[in-house]
Structure 1
Amino acid sequence: MLFHVRMDVNIPLDMDAAVAAEIKAREKAYSQGLQRSGKWRHIWRLAGEYANYSVFDVDSNQELHDILTELPLYPYMRISVQPLCRHPSSIREDDR
């Protein structure tokens, strides 16, 4: 199942810089592992914002929920999710 996910990050301005850096490092490692596994298929930064658009390829709504809630930055995010389905004009056979 493919999902389009927008993530807007809002780290508190008064958070200790070292704490923020540690959370961001864990976030990067976690997200890159998911990318390598194929679960997190695409990620794009939104220019001028601390936000991204991503595409996830997971087996269920619950799996996506579990992945998102395990993000180290999750407590500081506003997330919106839209399910995707293959467009009949797509030439990509690997999209479900």
Structure 2
Amino acid sequence: MLYCVEMDVAIPHGLDPDHVAKLKADEKVRAQDLQRQGQWVHLWRVAGRYANISVFDVASHDELHDILSTLPLFPFMTMRVTPLACHPSAVA
């Protein structure tokens, strides 16, 4: 199943900079791992914001939730999840 996930990140001001740097590094490792596994199939930055639009390919809503909740920056994210379906006019 494909899902479009819009993620906005809002790290609180005043959080320890070393802790923030570690979270960001861990987030990068986790995101790249999920991409290599084929679950995080697209990752696009939203220009001008600390946000991304991503496409995940997973078996279920529960699997997507489990994956998203393991992201190190999850506590600081607002997400909007949209299940995707094939469009009848799509060439591929």
TM-score range, shorter chain: over 0.9
Q: Find the counterpart in structure 2 of residue 3 from structure 1.
A: 3
What displacement does 1:43 show?
Answer: 0.6
Q: Report the equivalent of 1:28.
A: 28
**Unpaired runs of 5+ in structure 1?**
none
User: What residue number does 1:67 align with?
Assistant: 67
Q: Deviation per CA, 1:40-70: give whole Å up to 9, x if none.
A: 0001110110000000000000000000000
What are the within-5 Å matches in structure 2 for residues 70-81 of structure 1?
70-81=70-81
SS in 1 for 2:34: helix
Structure 1 ranges of 4+ moved more than 4 A: none
Matched residues, percent identical?
55
Q: Which amino acid aligns with 2:25?
A: A
Number of residue-to-residue matches in the alignment: 92
Report the residue type matching 2:14 in the other structure: D
The separation in 2 between residues aligned to 1:34 and 1:91, in whole angstroms, is: 27
Measure, in 2, the Cα distance between the counterparts of 1:88 and 1:18: 49
**Structure 2 alignment gaps of length 5 or more:** none
The CA distance in 1 between the partners of 2:40 and 2:19, in whole Å, is 25
TM-score norm. by structure 2 comes to: 0.97
Cα separation, 2, equivalents of 1:32 and 1:91: 29
Q: CA RMSD in A?
A: 0.6
